[in-house]
Chain A
């Protein structure tokens, strides 16, 4: 029998923490780094470690993405105790849409990278494709064949 299923996803880097190691050593850390840089390249964003709030105060982050369209930036942080991934930004002044778009793309890229790696680990030959859906936006299609 074969089946179809759908999942909602959450990013949480707990493997290294559970083994008593720092979260930076979690396999998900490198994947998150790859996902952030891929989105930066795709959307022409700069990557640093500082975002700003409305008052110009600097906030340090694990990754910070900025561009002229989003000058205060979007920060990505990984909680050192729980491994939870959070996105921070000061959206005052109408930055919700662009911030939401960047956040969605990071999560989508992260998911695609994980699915690709997991299928390859199960010995599948993996092909990746991208399609633009008029309403639902960009979709990543991953096919594993064994």
Chain B
């Protein structure tokens, strides 16, 4: 599954970010990297809220594992 970061930039520059498709703590590592790059560009992003997604939200990102496919040969 592809990784996705959706950023909403509001009035006066406030940022709302949504990380999708990341495994384990990877999204927090990516958030740190992004914050560091923004700082290098002169934009200091000060965290206000950080909310981990619920299982329901995470499951909605990932395709259902129940649908497994099997190769069949047609003869």
Residues of B within 8 A of A107 (CB): 12-13
Number of interface residues of A (CB under 8 A): 47
A33–chain B nearest beta-carbon distance, Å? 12
Residue interface bits B41-71, CB-to-A below 8 A is 1, else 0: 1111111111111000110010000000000
If A4-B18, A7-B15 touch, whether A112 touches B9 (CB-CB below 8 Å) is yes
Q: B27 → chain A, closest Cβ, in Å? A: 5
Q: Say which size band chain B's interface belongs to.
A: 35 or more
Binding site for A on B (CB under 8 A): 2-28, 30-31, 33-34, 37-38, 40-53, 57-58, 61
Q: Residues of A with Cβ closer than 8 Å to B?
A: 1-15, 26-28, 31-32, 83, 103-104, 107-108, 110-112, 114-115, 117-119, 121-122, 124, 136-146
